[in-house]
Amino acid sequence: MIEKIQSILLPLSTPSESSDSLKCAAVLMPIVKNSHSGDWEVIFTRRAEHLKHHPGQISFPGGGYEVQDDGLGDTAIRETFEEIGISPKQIQLIGRLPQQQTISQYNVTPYVGIIDPDYQLAIDDNEVAEVFTAPFSFVTDQTNQKKVEETIKGKQYSFYVIQYKHYNIWGATAKILVNFTRRLNRDEN
């Protein structure tokens, strides 16, 4: 399966497209094989409630680019370690998805990484309230990716929602999964 996923991804090199008005950031879509069931799963975080941006939302680990980072892939790995404690040695980046702009004024580059099944978590409570996994097959199933329209603060928005158990995955995280799924399905046809 990893070879198939890797075939739909862009190369790891840092993307050249950027915007002067948006801050650069990177996230990691961490995929791990469950050592008990053998099924592939995606690791998610639930952001801490006290955060200024997107409190309590389901997300991938990630954050803003810092000058000491050796590219945006390094940003995704560093932020994953800082937020949930997965060692960089346990992350194998296999590619990236196209950058996307967020309503919080970030130009986000999503990276896809395979996580060693023996990973250990060390959650930073200042950033993350919870870590959980969801089946890869569930979050990449188009029938579970519902498009909704909602008025927020008087403005009409259209976005995707993936409801997994009591977790409401939406916003940039759902958009990354929808874009990933489209690439995966396009490759199958």
The two structure tokens encoding residue 146 = 């519902």
Checking 143-148 for CB contacts under 8 A at 24+ apart, the result is: 145/174, 145/177, 145/178, 145/181
| pLDDT above 90 as % of the chain | 74
Are 77 and 28 a contacting pair, CB within 8 Å? yes
Domains of the chain: 2-140 (3.90.79.10)
**Which tops the pLDDT comparison, 67 or 188?**
67
Give the pLDDT band (50/70/90) at residue 189: low
Question: Which residue shows structure tokens 């892939």?
Answer: 73
When pLDDT is averaged across residues 1-25 and rounded to a whole number, the result is: 80
pLDDT at 43 over 60: yes
pLDDT tier at 21, thresholds 50, 70, 90 = confident
Give alpha helix (H) positions in the chain: 2-8, 72-84, 136-139, 171-188
* pLDDT given for residue 19 in this prediction: 57
Who contacts 143 (Cβ-Cβ below 8 Å, separation ≥6)?
A: none
Mean pLDDT (whole number) for 12-31: 79
Q: Sort strands 145-152 and 155-164 into parallel, antiparallel or unpaired.
A: antiparallel
Q: Which of 144, 28, 157 is nearest to 80 (CA)?
A: 28
pLDDT category at 104 given cuts 50, 70, 90 is confident
Q: Return the residue matching tokens 């592939």.
A: 40
48-70 residue pLDDT tens: 887 776 777 999 999 999 999 99
Q: Are strands 106-115 and 100-101 parallel, antiparallel or unpaired?
A: antiparallel
45 and 84 in contact (C-beta within 8 Å)?
yes
Q: Quote helix, strand, coil % in the chain, to nearest 5.
A: 25, 40, 35
Number of H helices, E strands in the chain: 4, 11
pLDDT digits (tens, 9 = 90+) for 122-173: 999 999 999 999 999 999 999 999 999 988 889 888 999 999 999 999 999 9
